Structures are given as structure tokens and as C-alpha cells.
Amino acid sequence: MTNHSETTGPSENGDIPGLARPGDTARVPDDRPREEPQVTLRTPAELADALPYLLGYRPEDSIVLVALRDRDGKGRFGGRARLGIPANPDDWACAAGQLAHGLVTGSERRGVRPEQMVVYLCQEPAPGETGRQVMERLRPLAQKLRVECGALDVPVVEALCVSAGRFWSYCCDDRACCPAEGTPMGLPGTSVLAAAATYAGIQVRGTLGELRGRLLPREDETAREQETALDAAAVPLVARILDDTGRAEVAEETLLLAQRVMRRLAGARPVSGIAAEDLRDDRLLGHDEAATLILGLQDRATRDRAAEWMEGEEAAPALRLWRALARRCVGSYGEHAAAPLTLAGWVAWSTGDELEAREALAMALGADPDYLFARLLHQACNEGLDPESVRRCLRAERGGRERSEDAAPEGTEGAGGAAGSEPAVSASAPGEPLARRRRTRSGAAAGGGARRGRARGREQGTKVVRPRTPTAEERPGHARPDRARARASAERKAGRTGACAGGGRPGERGPVRDSDLRAGRWGVARPTVPCPGPTGSGRP
């Protein structure tokens, strides 16, 4: 399915506090205690006014479906799904079918099948076009949505077009309440629902375009300077990352620089307005610093350690840093934005901002469709999974590394040091739980640390005693070729031959599950078994 950012992924559906079917009663919020104030919506005007509060932003150029379900004899809002309006009318039928099917099946997975549906079509007029002309032009799309929902046995009880500050109903023929020239929308923040939403702490943050503007690459006069800094830093940094020892050094330097910039951002003087905040952060980040951080985060092990700054006092400055770095991925470095955008989406999701999380992760997939970490997080966020399962994995990784560093003998380099191996998160097999990944005392992966330990032993003159290799006659089972064939057959049945680490077929991807996240299968790096297929490009 195609969402607003033109990247493939699930629609934005999920359970939200709800309203009722038009002409009946509806209450907002849905699952709050009974003694709290509730709002009843009955008219198309009240439904049109409710839309920004249901989504958390004012949709532009969008199809929005909102499911209605019955609870205690009253209609309530259930899930919702949004999709950009295809520019080609020939694509409307396919888009309508995908959106309706995605919302209904997604709601069924949550155990609540929609009973009715409300449709919103939001689009501003083109130059020389009126809002009424937009409504008439989109009428076939509204009809296709009604047909697709009806085919799923979920009737559409109201379909509204919102354009040029007015709304029209495709279902009401009464000109007294729905005139041909449309009904003016109320001033933002003046309705009863707006007051109730403010009391409940629900915020409407403008449009998706404004949200995306905080994450898009800069196009001002400094963009060229940033690209020059990236060009200058790329050659030496990439060469060091490709070397095992240099890679650990670059990881440590990147993380230390990121922490310094985060402290700088946290100590900055507050300013008023989103645009002013982003401009202030941009001024606090030098071109050379941004280039070093952007290139250093292309290493998956470094990115995984940076993802640990997702809660507490670290979360806010980390999110500001990832936004600023995404804005610095200019020119030919647009694909490099996948890492900071994914980190921004992860921190936003971890701190409860699902709107920014979905948009940042969708933009990360737009920069690099094969970025596995972004794909898994995007799917998990859209399916309503709890980010706490991922946070627990990251806390375990961080705690294990800190304990290993504290236990390391004096004079031994810790994880990320010049002589240390890469963190375990980048040396484990795909699907292996984070908490179970083996480490050496330096916090490195068990295999890599052991290899380097043996090498240091030989350099110091330590004699390494190796067991004698038995001859063919001495090998166990030499006279039992049938046993070898049986073992090979069992391995093939277990998927150990020609399969990806983790048990799947090469290049196969399945839906993310909450159990996957609890087990730590949220991101893999440098698998021990090569995995051909779509993910074989070397990116996560």
C-alpha cells in the first residue's frame, strides 16, 4: 500500500478513541473512565471538525477511512487508515480496494471487526479550481470507496469532501443541512470537540507537509557546503570503517561526538516556534560534525548503539540530533538519510509520538527501501505493537556492555576501543535474541573476540596447543556412511543448507510479530551466514 510519502508499507491504522455513526450518539474519548466529560457528535459538520483530532494533524491530499464499532449500544470510532489520493484516476479503484481491505483486516486482527465506515476526502483546489469542483471531481473516488466497503459488508454511513475551508456530504441530499455550495468549516479550536481534546491533552500539529519539512534535506545556500564536507570526510572514514580495527575506532569517535552535540543541544536556549527550533539546532551543528556523524551511522553496529538513547533525558536531544542530521543528507547523500531518519522514527515511537514515528520511518524507506531496521519498526508501529519490548532489548545490550567494561582488567580496551571488536549486535546471526548474544570481557562478540585473543596470544609468544587431527581410519563413524547421509538429510530438513540464519528461505521476509520484538529480532547486522535476496545488498 502506498502512503503519503510514496513508500510501500502498511496503512496507518490503529485503535483510537472514538465517535459515533452520524445521526446517532458518539462519545469522545472511548476508553476513559465513565465520570470524565464525553462529547456527542451527531451531524456531518461535527464529523468534519473531528477529523484532525482523530489523526493528530490536518490531512492534505488524503483519503481517510474511519471505522465505527458498537459498544454499549453506542457507536464508537475504531481504527482509521489514511492514503494519499492517487494523481491518476485509473488508480482509484485499486487504492480504494487496498485501503478498505487493509483497515477491515487490520481491525479484525485486533479482535474488533468494523460495523460501519466514515469516508473523508481531503484535497485543496488546484489553481483556478473551486472547492465544489474538487468535490465533483472526487465523487467517483467516493463511490468506489463505498462499493469496496460494501463488498466487505461494512457500509459507509457518511462520506465527506473537505476542500477550501468547506465540506460537502456525498450521502446527504438535504440541501437544508448540506447546501450545494458547501458548508464552511468552523474556526480551528472553537468547537466543543476542540475544547474536549485540549482538556484531554490531544494536540493537532498542523499538516503532514509541515512535519515532513523538519526531516527533509536542506535546499538553502548551505547545502552545497554540507555536501562538500561530506565529500571530504567520506574517503578517509569509509576506508577506516572497512578495516576491523579502524571500524571500532570510528564507532567510538562517532558516538562520543554524538554525545557532545546532544549535550550542546540540551543546553541551548529555548526559542518559540518549530521553525525557529530547527534553525537553532542547525546552527549548533557544524558541517564537519554532521558529515562525521552521518557517515559513522552508516555502520549498523554504531547505529544500534545510538538507538539506546531512546528514553529519559537522552531522548529529546537525541531526536533533535537525528532530525538535524536527516536535514544534512543533501545532494547525492540522500540515501544516507535512512539511518538518522530511522533513529528519529524509533525515538519518536519510543516516546509515544506515533505520528512522527510513522512519517520518519516511511521517509527512511523512501531513502532506502531495503533498510531492514526501518521496515521492521514501521510495520511494528503500524500494527500497534508495544515499543517496550524493543526498549528492553536495548537496555539489556547497554547494561551488558557497561558491566563488561567495568569488569575488564586494567589496561584492557573496552568495547568500541581501538583494540576492541565490534559490538555483539553486529556480529550475531539474524533472529538471535539480543539478550542472549555472547560477549567477551571487552563487550565484543564472542567469536570475534576469541579470534583476536588467539592472535594476541601468538604475538606474545604463547604456545597454542592444538589437538591432533585424526586420520581417516581413526575418525568416529568412518565405517558408517549411512549415518553421515542421515545427518545431512536432517540438516536439510532443518533448513541449515541454503537457508538464511534464523530459519527462513533466502530473501524471505515475514510479518513482524510482537514475539519477534520481545526476542530481539528487530534489527540484524553482519549476519554470520550470507543471506541472498533483496537484503543481500549489505544494508540492514
C-alpha span between 218 and 196 (Å, rounded)? 38
For residue 101, pLDDT beyond 80: yes
Query: pLDDT higher for 394 or 500?
Result: 394
Cα distance between the two ends of the chain: 22
For residue 417, pLDDT beyond 60: no
For residue 234, pLDDT beyond 60: yes
Query: pLDDT higher for 158 or 510?
Result: 158
Residue 511 has, within 13 A of its CA and on its CB side, a CA count of: 9
For residue 275, pLDDT beyond 60: yes
**Alpha helix locations (H) across 267-314?**
274-283, 287-296, 300-306
C-alpha span between 423 and 218 (Å, rounded)? 33
- Nearest Cα to 367, choosing from 405, 402, 329? 329
C-alpha span between 118 and 48 (Å, rounded)? 10
Q: Looking at residues 296-302, what average pLDDT do you find?
A: 94
For residue 483, pLDDT beyond 90: no
State residue 430's pLDDT score.
Answer: 33
Helix (H) or strand (E) holding 277, with range, is helix 274-283
State residue 175's pLDDT score.
Answer: 79
C-alpha span between 386 and 398 (Å, rounded)? 20
State residue 205's pLDDT score.
Answer: 76
CB-CB neighbours of 406 under 10 Å: 8
For residue 445, pLDDT beyond 50: no
C-alpha span between 66 and 99 (Å, rounded)? 11
Query: What percentage of the chain carries pLDDT values higher than 70?
Result: 64
Residue 299 in contact with residue 247, Cβ under 8 Å?
yes
| CA 51-55-56 angle, 5° bins | 105
Cα 537 to chain centroid distance, Å, stands at: 20
**Chain segment 178-211, per-residue pLDDT in tens:** 888 898 987 666 666 777 777 766 777 778 888 8
* Cross-strand bridge partners of residue 444: 423
Confidence label for 498 from pLDDT (cuts 50, 70 and 90): very low
For residue 314, pLDDT beyond 90: yes
Return the amino acid letter for 158. Answer: E
Residue 79 in contact with residue 15, Cβ under 8 Å?
yes
Residue 12 in contact with residue 358, Cβ under 8 Å?
yes
**Greatest mean pLDDT range, 49-53, 113-117, 289-293, 497-501:** 289-293
C-alpha span between 252 and 249 (Å, rounded)? 5
**Chain segment 14-59, per-residue pLDDT in tens:** 333 333 333 333 333 343 334 444 666 767 877 888 888 888 888 8
Residue 242 has, within 13 A of its CA and on its CB side, a CA count of: 7
- Is the pTM for the entire model greater than 0.85? no
C-alpha span between 9 and 15 (Å, rounded)? 18
**Chain segment 72-89, per-residue pLDDT in tens:** 656 678 888 999 999 999
State residue 189's pLDDT score.
Answer: 61
C-alpha span between 226 and 152 (Å, rounded)? 52
For residue 471, pLDDT beyond 80: no
Helix (H) or strand (E) holding 70, with range, is strand 62-71
State residue 454's pLDDT score.
Answer: 38
**Chain segment 109-168, per-residue pLDDT in tens:** 888 889 999 999 999 999 999 999 999 999 999 999 999 999 999 999 999 999 999 999
C-alpha cell at 313: 533525558
For residue 291, pLDDT beyond 90: yes
Query: pLDDT higher for 318 or 509?
Result: 318
Q: Looking at residues 503-525, what average pLDDT do you find?
A: 38
* Cross-strand bridge partners of residue 120: 64, 160
Cα 3 to chain centroid distance, Å, stands at: 13
For residue 386, pLDDT beyond 80: yes
CB-CB neighbours of 33 under 10 Å: 6
CB-CB neighbours of 337 under 10 Å: 27
Mean of pLDDT over the chain: 74
C-alpha cell at 410: 586494567
C-alpha span between 136 and 87 (Å, rounded)? 15
3-state secondary structure of 191: coil
Query: What percentage of the chain carries pLDDT values higher than 90?
Result: 45
Residue 156 in contact with residue 166, Cβ under 8 Å?
no
State residue 188's pLDDT score.
Answer: 66
- Torsion sign (Cα): 510, 516, 520, 522: positive
Residue 327 in contact with residue 274, Cβ under 8 Å?
no
